[in-house]
């Protein structure tokens, strides 16, 4: 037996010296969103459709052994050819061997083709469950990111996997895969939310839910990281002295300019492009909107229909608008946004 040394580090982002890097092979085992998705998919399938995962493993084994057999045949053939004496045509034995090898290799090749087709078929069936794995992965990274708010919010991967299994086991069964997938997603999201929410300080709860909602929209391809950036920063990074309206303060004006300059969503749509000018056209309505007690609950002047028409990111656009116009109402607008994206249940007070 040979001595083997393994070293592991728990630190997520360690700073190793160059000397150490030269003496060892540093390997990053950190889970990524895509990697975790694949792992969760395998985990889910092995629970949900055990036979499918077993079939896949069996097939892979068959393919390997068949490929090996094929290689062995070829080697044997070459060996024969090299060591045959006299005229090849007189060697009856060799001709027999050739014939069998030809037959066998044909057989093996057929099996390989069959296996390849089956692998594709199984792959397609597995793909049907991918949305669950994708959601699981998104949720895990939401949960893990909470560490940045408070060190106490650490959650381990095994801990999360228990939640993931719970979501699969406790969600209602359904005959159609599509319904089943939907059921698991709902149950899983709810379970993770309730579990994590229980351990959060009151002031961090909205943050967690908001992150969940945004990450889900990003994963669905509706939002981009840039959109979230605009929501967070708004007008903080720009400078514009040409404020058009006296009743507006400078900060709000910058926010509005920032909105007008941002391309929203994956379609890169300048949704609020003419906002600074269009406020002028309906100045009275806009001023009323700005002075509203609960601006997040009343229709937005001018843009209301357009916002409602955007099924994917309409809620987000509304959230950005409220955040830009009335920063004091941002938290309430967030709650509304969470309710629209995740469901009523996520904004109601919970007692557990």
Partner 1 sequence: MRLVGNVAKACAFVSYCGPFNAEFRTLLTDQYFMGDLGARGIPASEEFNISEFLVDQVTVGEWNMQGLPADELSVQNGIMVTRSSRYPLMIDPQGQAISWIRNREPLLIEKDQIITLNVPDLRAALKLPLMEGWPLLIESIENEVDPMLDPLLEKQITVKGRNRTIKIAD
> Per CB under 8 A, does 25 bind partner 1?
yes
> CB 163 → partner 1: shortest distance, Å?
15
Taking the C-alpha atoms of residue 320 and residue 228, their distance in angstroms, rounded to an integer, is: 9
Cβ atoms within 10 Å of 268's Cβ, excluding its own: 11
Stretch of 26-34, 124-132, 192-200, 238-246 lying at the interface with partner 1 (CB under 8 A): 26-34
> CB 4 → partner 1: shortest distance, Å?
4
> Per CB under 8 A, does 123 bind partner 1?
no
Cβ atoms within 10 Å of 88's Cβ, excluding its own: 12
- For the segment 3-22, give every residue that binds partner 1 (CB under 8 A): 3-12, 14-17, 20-21
> CB 144 → partner 1: shortest distance, Å?
9
Can you tell me whether residue 269 is helix, strand or coil? strand
- For the segment 157-196, give every residue that binds partner 1 (CB under 8 A): 157-158
Contact 58, 78 (CB under 8 A): no
The pattern of x and - marking residues 135 through 164 that bind partner 1 according to CB under 8 A reads ---------------------xxx------
> CB 106 → partner 1: shortest distance, Å?
23
Closest CA to 164 of 50, 37, 52: 37
> CB 156 → partner 1: shortest distance, Å?
7
Binding residues for partner 1, total number by CB under 8 A: 42
Contact 263, 223 (CB under 8 A): no
Contact 188, 163 (CB under 8 A): yes
Region class of 97: left (phi > 0), else alpha (psi between -120 and 50), else beta? alpha
Binding test (CB under 8 A) with partner 1, winner from 26, 71, 103, 298: 26
Residue 212, judged by CB atoms within 10 A of its CB (0-12, 13-18, 19+), counts as: buried
Q: Which is nearer to partner 1, 31 or 52 (CB)?
A: 31
- For the segment 48-87, give every residue that binds partner 1 (CB under 8 A): 57, 60-61, 63-64
Alpha helices by DSSP H, listed for 234-271, are 250-261
**214-233 burial by CB neighbour count: b if 16+ within 10 A, else e?**
bbbbbbbebbbeebbebbee
Q: Which is nearer to partner 1, 39 or 260 (CB)?
A: 39
Interface with partner 1 by CB under 8 A: which residues? 1-12, 14-17, 20-21, 23-32, 34-36, 38-39, 42, 57, 60-61, 63-64, 156-158
């Amino acid at each position: 037996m040979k001595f083997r040394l393994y070293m592991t580090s728990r630190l997520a982002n360690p700073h190793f010296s160059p000397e150490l890097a030269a003496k060892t092979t540093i390997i990053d085992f950190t889970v990524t969103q895509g990697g975790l998705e694949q792992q969760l998919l395998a985990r889910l399938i092995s629970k949900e459709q055990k036979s499918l995962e077993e079939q896949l493993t069996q097939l892979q084994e068959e393919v390997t052994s068949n490929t090996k057999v094929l290689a062995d045949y070829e080697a044997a053939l070459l060996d024969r050819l090299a060591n045959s004496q006299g005229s090849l045509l007189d060697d009856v034995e060799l001709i027999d061997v050739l014939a069998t090898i030809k037959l066998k290799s044909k057989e093996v090749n057929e099996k390989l083709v069959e296996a390849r087709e089956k692998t594709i078929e199984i792959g397609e069936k597995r793909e049907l469950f991918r949305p669950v794995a994708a959601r699981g992965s998104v949720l895990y990274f939401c949960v893990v990111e909470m560490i940045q708010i408070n060190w106490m919010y650490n959650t381990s991967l095994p801990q999360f996997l228990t939640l993931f299994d719970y979501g699969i086991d406790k969600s209602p069964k359904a005959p159609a895969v599509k319904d089943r997938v939907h059921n698991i997603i709902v149950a899983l999201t709810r379970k993770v939310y309730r579990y994590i929410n229980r351990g959060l300080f009151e002031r961090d709860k909205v943050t967690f839910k908001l992150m969940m909602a945004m990450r889900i929209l990003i994963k669905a391809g509706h939002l981009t990281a840039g959109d979230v950036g605009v929501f967070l920063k708004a007008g903080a990074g720009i400078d514009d002295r040409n404020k058009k309206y006296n009743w507006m303060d400078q900060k709000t004006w910058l926010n509005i300019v920032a909105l007008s300059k941002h391309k929203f969503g994956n379609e890169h749509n300048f949704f609020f492009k003419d906002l600074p000018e269009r406020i002028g056209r309906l100045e009275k309505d806009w001023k009323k909107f700005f002075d509203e007690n609960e601006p997040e609950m009343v229709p937005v002047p001018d843009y209301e229909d357009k916002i409602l028409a955007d099924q994917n990111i309409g809620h987000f656009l509304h959230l950005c608008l409220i955040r830009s116009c009335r920063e004091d109402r941002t938290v309430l607008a967030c709650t509304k946004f969470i309710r629209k994206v995740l469901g009523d249940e996520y904004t109601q007070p919970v007692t557990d």
